[in-house]
Amino acid sequence: MGQAAGKGLRAAATMLGFAAAKRAVGDVKDKSTGAPLEKSSLYQQYLDEREEVLRHKWLESERAGRDIGFERALMDWVLNHRTKWRNSRQTAGE
């Protein structure tokens, strides 16, 4: 497995792990700011990335004429689009 694919797999596993963490957020606080986790910048970044993956899933599913599934959409987006998307957000100052 290539280095880029390995990074993509780790990123995808991390993102899928966040989905489980989202359900357990409840009263959890960000240790660095004391703010509720839902308001942390890391959590907001997760939500933004998840929205992009879901958009990508919809587009690719439409193109394929069937539901490609979240995991496939996630892997494709991480490996082929995530870096450019993050760079464009940093350039825009988000």
Q: pLDDT, tens digit, for every residue of 22-77?
A: 555 555 665 666 666 667 788 888 999 999 999 999 999 999 999 999 999 999 99
> How far is CA 39 from its chain centroid?
16
Supply the DSSP symbol for 29.
Answer: B
Q: How far apart are CA 90 and CA 48, in angstroms?
A: 13
Could you tell me which of 89, 92, 1 has the C-alpha nearest to residue 44?
A: 89
Q: In which residue are the tokens 């990508």 written?
A: 56
Domain ranges of the chain: 29-94
Q: What is the pTM of this model?
A: 0.62
